[in-house]
Structure 1
Amino acid sequence: MRWTIKPKPEEDKIKALAKALNVEKLVAQLLLQRGISTYEEAKYFFRPQLEHLHDPFLMKDMDIAVARIEKAIVDGENILVFGDYDVDGTTAVALLSSYLLTYYPNVATYIPDRYAEGYGVSYKGIDFAEDNGFSLIIALDCGVKAIEKVAYAKEKNIDFIICDHHRPGDVLPDAVAVLDPKRSDCTYPYDELCGCGVGFKLIQALGSRKGETIHDLIPYLDLVATAIGADIVPITGENRVLAYFGLQVINENPRAGFKAIINQIKKTVLTITDVVFIIAPRINAAGRMEHGQYAVNLLTEKDANQAQKFAAEIEKFNIDRRGLDQEITIEALNQITENKEEQGFTSVVYKDSWHKGVIGIVASRLTETYYRPTLVFTKSGDKLAASARSVKGFDVYNALEGCADYIEQFGGHKYAAGLTLLEEQYNNFKAQFEKVVAETIDPNLLIPEITVDMIIELKDITPKLMRIINQFAPFGPGNMTPVFMAEKISDSGYAKGVGEDEKHLKCAVTQNDYGPIGCIGFNLGDKLPLITSRKPFSAVFTIDENEWQGNVSLQLKIKDLR
């Protein structure tokens, strides 16, 4: 691991902010590192308000989208709410369809089949709309590159409104409205919304025309917070406000579908991390193993008993998904090991029988293991489909653009993307991808990095500091959990390996006669010899609360040590 310590802000700025907020310098430094330098900015950060959300009509085409939906309602048109099969897409479809259905009945939902239709707007979906008399399709979390498909719909007199957050191509589809804060001609103040977030801005705009305020829309924020967490968008600005209030809804008054999932896991208070690792995989499992519509059904169900049945179905999908994911990960790792001589700057693996629904998870696992930009391919109809994952600091989407000659279609983000290509192009693509990455990546990026906020002493770690750090939540990209480093600490003499195969490290540390403070280091069991016999060491860690038999104590979650 590379340890990178963030630059320390200027001392006078630290002192000034500490004085303005009446906090310790350590806290002021953490805030300055997050771009917060005034009392007013700190107030926004620590006390998010729904009133901080931007006017939805600042988004390009929002007025046109609202006018078209209002016309559809006046004319009695059938509206089809269309979305991707992942968490962002299914939550967005659940959000917009359930909102529209509160005052207009002619609304249905459509999630494409991952296997039969693939990602995004599909010809099959448009044919379904034509066959069933839909004259308006609202696409969420997809569509900004669907130029041919939107043109195909137009030939059938079907209009499109697109709500997307992916990077557009050079040309936009000929839709009635394209809501995407990443449009180069869109001056909306915040461009990191997820697809469900763009959908929320649309219902905010529609609601404002009916005299509703933001407070009337709070019940929809559990969906938005889940999408923000699952889609790994920055938890800054508007996303921070949406996630903050969405988590309150999840914990205090969740919809029946979320309540059914939470009842299965028996957890009382959920953080954004719990949403990412507990709720999101279950919602995702529907589209991965069976069909994304199962997730929409769960998220829109109002009856608690029915929601419980849907959640039980989805739990089964999730268990199946886990089994497959482990099996394929082992096969993929073996494939890399067998072709060790080929390993350069990338990991690219392929097997025609791998389940398309889990190749994204497998790609993430391979990236964790080998720390290379990674692609996992499988057969999908008469083509190959792949999921791409990247390492911190490297834009895999740009790398794929450099391989466009060999790709049928692709889309995604800086760190995650999907693509399809013809089987005969696989080897050409693989060679080109390796070439592009080799020429453009900083070799340092191939060593996992831990970014450290600051070096502290153990005596600085107090319950008061923990209380303040808890107020930095929700954590995520742009506002990660603070990471600290302590030097010349030593184990109190009871360090040991714990867990299966003793793969985790448990110890208690002291520094200059202060301590001990308990520590846990997941997957660091092999580092035990480095700290025995009270040998001094440095550690990088986050601070955590450990609850045991009703007692709460502070502990360090060690990320690495040397």
Structure 2
Amino acid sequence: MSAPPASILGLDRSLGGRTWRWRGGNMDLGSGSSLDHDLITQLLLARGVGQHEIDRHRNPSLRAFLPDPSIFQDMDKAAARLADAVISGEAITVYGDYDVDGATSAALLIRLLRALGREAGHYIPDRLLEGYGPSGEALVKIAERGARLIVTVDCGAMAHEALAMAADAGVEVIVVDHHKCSAELPRTVALVNPNRLDESPEAARYGHLAAVGVAFLLAIATVRELRSRAFFAERAEPDLFALLDLVALGTVADMAALHGLNRALVAQGLKVMARRDGVGMSALIDASRLTRAPACSDLGFALGPRINAGGRVGEATLGVRLLTTEDEDEARTIAAQLSTLNEERRAIEAAVQEAAEAQLATQHNRAVVILSGAGWHPGVIGIVAGRIKEKTGKPALVIALDADEHGNGKGSGRSISGVDLGAAIIAAREAGLLIAGGGHAMAAGLTIAPGKLDALGEWLDARLGGDVARASANQALLLDLAVAPGGLVPSLVETLESAGPYGIGWPGPRIAVGPVRMVKADLVGTDHVRIIVRGDDGASFKGIAFRAASTEMGQALLHATHHRKLWLAGRAKIDDWSNRPQAELHIEDAAYAD
């Protein structure tokens, strides 16, 4: 094994216990603040973009990244069946998952069909009463109520028994999904999923799509099919571009990797969202108390959690209803209800988080952290798993015990880059360790029988131990550039943001600022550390370290003296609360400069 790159800025160890390294080349600007396209080029190169691809990635457009939908297995078959239903006026129901990806995918197809002159119904299962994915009983009942065609979105790829039951009853189902598949596919009219094992290498390149991205490609294919049948001879074609706000929201909220096509979809979707044409989306933005056009981070931290709250602790259909309504009063009412549910979700989540963290000391260096408790709300375990993953730097599974009438546990997991948790959970199910399970690389869900937890932990240790060790060894803090305090200005933040949108697979720029001396440090809320610092160049700025008060870094910041210099590392943001916007730093790590 080759030696790791040397640390930078003369630092051996940060207060967070990490080595700082350049992500891609030394971008130490010192006291300079000249900004031009060279900085953006360096950001793109550091994220794996080839020199010949720079122009295409600088301003990601659909024209540059959108594939022909026909490259995907069953896409043309699904589009033809949907076109048949549109032309003949058949009743259609969209069956979606209860999370943001499911809600946006369902809303996208419902709005598409409405634009084509057909009103589609929707069905969203209750998380607690029905669980994830389609049930055979529900599919048959939907058909008995008149639906001739059912389209499942963000679920169904592994629903073999349910879809077999539907097929035996003569129910026609199209599956639109992105979760991991097994070699044996369920019985459907069509199954569109870039993660099918029989996909071509060209189509498999798009396995990072969220379900809403796959649904958007199906919308394109369906409109193209209808065009070939002269359906639009006397009517306007739907504006597919107007659906991209849904695609952006679902993609970011589902933690899909933001490279390639996903980055183009989100970039263009944010432009659509800024227009606020959609009644439901506009109400959601207002309920989130945003007074500006939403940024990519707002989708994951403000808008998405509100849609999710309906499925987690409230009524599962609220998200779809909000995103498909054309009534402004109804939209405001639902958005307010979702905001209230989101506050309830936060309180429930905090209690489960506290209980889960109390178990961390019992983990004995397992590759995958597994925490469980009776009475934990299944609606928040995925969020808590994400928090535990961030705290430990390892994949985490959080399991609500006694979650059904049989005493089985319901679990949700979040992974780290380089560790495919979804594939491992599917393999564990096939090995007989789980009742049900599936997911994708970064997130997974499972159902487990009582008494199987220890066996699952040992099995995951054996399967993922090497992957986790390799991923953990590479968990240095990667920096994109370093600036003196005087260089942390709004124009720098704007330039950095222009190489976005950022997210999983396309990390936001991380900068080091220093050396600085502490002017003031205090606590905000329960565990956030807020500081004001000043550099040798006389420039000062504000910073905040979220959920850091109990960490070594947080304590060092709170007790830092004016006499000792620090380097600070994190994300540069705009503080626009004052009359004159200023740049601030969201701190992720710190190190002594002397």
Give the TM-score of the pair, scaled to structure 2.
0.84
Pair 1:423 & 2:450 matched:
yes
Are 2:413 and 1:384 equivalent residues in the alignment? no
**Which residue does the alignment assign to 1:481?**
508
Distance 1:540 1:236 in 2: 24
Report the AA paired with residue 185 of structure 1.
Answer: E
CA contact (8 A) 1:402 1:436 kept: no
Q: Deviations over 1:249-293 (max 9, x none)?
A: 222224222222222233122111111111111101111113321
How far off its partner does 1:43 sit?
A: 3.1
CA contact (8 A) 2:366 2:457 kept: no
Aligned pair in 2 of structure 1 residues 496, 247: CA closer, same or farther (>3 Å)?
A: same
**Pairwise CA RMSD of aligned residues?**
2.9
Question: Is the 1:392–1:445 Cα contact (8 Å) retained in structure 2?
Answer: no
Distance in structure 2 (CA, Å) of the matches to 1:103 and 1:529: 59
The reply to whether residue 554 of structure 1 matches residue 583 of structure 2 is yes
Query: Of the candidates 476, 489, 496, which is equivalent to residue 521 of structure 2?
Result: 496
**Per-residue deviation, 1:10:** 10
Tell me the CA shift for residue 367 of structure 1.
2.4
**Residues of 2 paired with 1:392 and 1:284: CA distance?**
24
- Which residue in the other structure is 2:468 paired with? 441
Letter in 1 for 2:575: N
2:320 to 289, 292, 296: 296
Are residue 224 (structure 1) and residue 235 (structure 2) matched?
no
Aligned equivalent of 1:66, options 39, 61, 79: 79
Aligned match of 2:7? none
What's the offset of the Cα at 1:448? 5.9
Go from structure 1 to structure 2 and tell me whether the alpha carbon gap of 1:64 and 1:240 turns closer, same or farther (over 3 Å shift): same
Distance across 1 between alignment mates of 2:24 and 2:392: 31
1:225 aligned counterpart, secondary structure: helix
1:353 aligned partner, one-letter code: G
- The structure with the largest helix share of the pair is 1
Shift, 1:428, TM fit:
2.7
What are the within-5 Å matches in structure 2 for residues 88-99 of structure 1? 88-99=101-112
Give the Cα–Cα distance (whole angstroms) in 2 for the partners of residues 402 and 58 of structure 1: 28
5 Å matches for 1:142-161? 142-161=155-174
Match of 2:199 among 182, 185, 199: 185
Alpha carbons 2:58, 2:499 under 8 Å: kept: yes
Distance in 2, matches of 1:341 and 1:181, equals 36
For residues 307 and 548 of structure 1, what CA distance do their matches in structure 2 show? 28
2:383 maps to 1:361: yes
Which residue of structure 1 lines up, in the alignment, with residue 9 of structure 2?
A: none
2:63 pairs with one of 38, 51, 59: 51
Q: Measured at CA, do residues 505 and 527 of structure 1 come closer, stay the same or move farther in structure 2, by a change above 3 Å?
A: farther
Classify 1:165/1:331 alpha carbon distance in 2 versus 1 (closer, same or farther; 3 Å). same
Q: Give the corresponding residue for 2:223.
A: 207
Quick one: which of 315, 336, 346 aligns to 1:312?
336
Query: Residues 58, 283 of structure 1: CA spacing in aligned structure 2 closer, same or farther, 3 A cutoff?
Result: same
Distance 2:38 2:116 in 1: 52
CA distance in 1, matches of 2:526, 2:339: 28
Q: What residue in structure 1 maps to residue 45 of structure 2?
A: 32
In 2, distance between residues paired with 1:35 and 1:372?
24
- Superposition pairs for residues 168-183 of structure 1, below 5 Å? 168-183=181-196
State the alpha-carbon separation in 1 of the partners of residues 316 and 480 from structure 2. Answer: 40
CA distance in 2, matches of 1:558, 1:411: 35
| Residues 518 and 106 of structure 1, relative CA distance in 2, 3 Å threshold | closer
Which amino acid in the other structure matches residue 53 of structure 2? E
TM-score (norm: length of structure 1): 0.89
1:508 partnered with 2:520? no
CA-to-partner distance for each residue in 1:15-63, whole Å, 9 max, x for gaps?
xxxxxxx94644432221123344x733322333342322322322221
SS in structure 2 of the partner of residue 45 of structure 1: helix
CA distance in 2, matches of 1:81, 1:177: 14
Rounded Cα–Cα distance in structure 1 between residues aligned with 2:339 and 2:525: 25
Decide which of 357, 373, 387 is 1:351's aligned counterpart: 373
What CA distance in whole angstroms lies between the structure 2 residues aligned with 1:252 and 1:3?
43
User: Which one-letter code corresponds to 1:194 in the other structure?
Assistant: A
Displacement of 1:177 after TM fit?
Answer: 1.7
Residues 1:426 and 1:49: Cα distance change in structure 2 (over 3 Å): closer
8 Å Cα contact 2:423/2:438 also seen in 1: no
Deviation at 1:543, TM superposition (A): 2.1
The residue identity in structure 1 corresponding to 2:388 is L
Q: 1:384 to 1:24 in 2, by over 3 A?
A: closer
User: Are 1:535 and 2:564 counterparts?
Assistant: yes
Range moving further from structure 2, 196-205 or 366-375: 366-375
Which residue does 1:141 correspond to in 2?
154
Kindly state the Cα deviation for residue 521 of structure 1 after the two structures are TM-superposed: 3.4
Structure 1 residue 502, shift from structure 2 partner: 7.6
Which residues of structure 2 form unaligned runs of 5+? Answer: 1-15, 28-34
Following superposition, the deviation at residue 295 of structure 1 comes to 1.3
1:125 alignment partner in structure 2: 138
Q: Per-residue deviation at 1:494?
A: 1.4
Q: Which residue of 2 aligns with 1:279?
A: 303
Alpha-carbon contact 1:391-1:446 (below 8 Å) kept: no
- After TM superposition, give the deviation of residue 446 of structure 1 in Å: 8.0
Give 2:210's match in structure 1, choosing from 177, 194, 200.
Answer: 194
Residues 1:6 and 1:214: Cα distance change in structure 2 (over 3 Å): farther
User: Which residue is 1:18 aligned to?
Assistant: none
Q: Measure the CA separation in 1 of the matches of 2:180 and 2:192.
A: 12
Alpha-carbon separation, structure 1, partners of 2:334 and 2:192:
32
The percent of aligned pairs where both chains have the same amino acid is 30
Residues in 1 aligned to 2:459 and 2:281: alpha-carbon distance in whole angstroms: 44
- Contact kept in structure 2, 1:92 and 1:141, CA below 8 Å: yes
1:103 paired to 2:116: yes
Question: Residue 460 of structure 1: CA displacement?
Answer: 5.1
- Give, in angstroms, the shift of residue 412 of structure 1: 0.7
Mapped pair 1:334 → 2:347: no
Shift in alpha-carbon separation, 1:31–1:154, aligned structure 2, 3 A = same
8 Å Cα contact 2:74/2:191 also seen in 1: yes
- The answer (yes or no) to whether the contact 1:285–1:318 under 8 Å persists in 2 is yes
Structure 1 509/557 Cα, relative in aligned 2: closer, same or farther at 3 Å?
A: farther
Change (3 A) 1:205 1:438: closer
Amino acid at match of 2:531: K
In the alignment, the residues of structure 2 paired with residue 113 and residue 60 of structure 1 have an alpha-carbon distance, to the nearest angstrom, of: 30
The aligned counterpart of 1:432 is: 459
Please list the CA deviations of residues 216-275 of structure 1 after superposition, one character each: whole Å capped at 9, or x if unmatched: 212211111100110111222221221112112222224222222222233122111111
Please list every run of 5 or more consecutive structure 1 residues that lacks an aligned counterpart in the other structure: 12-21
| Counterpart mapping for 1:259-270 below 5 A | 259-269=282-292, 270=294
Q: Residues 66-97 of structure 1, C-alpha deviation per residue, up to 9 Å, x if partnerless?
A: 11122233444322211111100011111101
Tell me if the contact between 2:413 and 2:445 (Cα under 8 Å) persists in the aligned partners: yes
